[in-house]
Amino acid sequence: MDIVQTIIIGIVEGVTEFLPISSTGHMIITEKLLQIPEDDFSKLFTIAIQLGAILAVVVLYWKKFFAFKHWEFYVKLIIAVIPAIVLGLLFNKKIDALLDKSMPIAIAMLAGGIVLLFVDRLFKTPKIDREEDIPFAKAFLIGIWQCIAMIPGVSRSAASIIGGMQQKLTRSAAAEFSFFLAVPTMLAATGYKLLKYYNEHGGINAGEIKTLAIGNLVAFVVAMLAIKFFIGFLKKHGFAIWGWYRIVLGSLLLILIFTGYIHA
């Protein structure tokens, strides 16, 4: 993976991480189009680069993350991330196997797009507009919803936001809690992947460290802009436009698969 490819993937990650369109799905397809080898490092990169984008949340919401007297906030995140940690450890090999495949991403894009067309109509009576008002039990249930995104193409952001709305959160409150939840989730996923790669390959060489650093830095900078855009857009326009985007992209992927341009 050269520096140009690294920057391109970093931009894709930064733009898509907080949109309900699946950053992992976009990165996998972009890597295929750029003909990046599908090896263990590319799988590590696809997961680890998300941490850079996620850290943008910590910077933008630093008052929230470092308000240590509000211990309930941290407890909610811990409770909500438990399902992802447990299922991630149990199904790690099966999840890794899906990272090589294009067909599941195309199907998930289409199915997720159809769901997003109806989300705003399904959840019309939100009652919770602040993170402080989210009960611990609802935080756990949102964490379960997030686990659906272990399937590449589903979108962690979409799954957790829809889970929040199903638990009576407003769109903006659900989006913000989804952003907060992404931090421990991706810290755990990236730490696990790095440790696994280190053990299996006897370390991480200087070139790989450089690639990870550049990718994360680009994703961080781009994500800083994307987060502010998404929150404002979501309040005004809802999810339908992202649903249509996913349907169009999923259909295009199917065409590319059936014409043999990318493998299934």
Per residue in 50-83, pLDDT (tens digit) is: 999 989 989 988 988 888 888 999 999 999 999 9
Which residue type occupies 105?
I
Residue 96 has pLDDT above 80, yes or no: yes
Return the DSSP state at 70: -
Structure confidence at residue 143 as a pLDDT band (50, 70, 90):
very high
Q: What is the pTM of this model?
A: 0.90
Length of the chain, please? Answer: 264
Q: How far is CA 249 from its chain centroid?
A: 17
User: b/e per residue, 158-177, with b = 16+ CB within 10 A?
Assistant: bbbbbbbbbbbbbbbbbbbb
DSSP string, 18-47: TTTT-HHHHHHHHHHHTT---SHHHHHHHH
Q: What is the pLDDT of residue 209?
A: 95
Per residue in 198-221, pLDDT (tens digit) is: 999 999 999 999 999 999 999 999
Boundaries of every domain in the chain: 3-258
Q: What is the mean pLDDT of residues 230-235?
A: 77
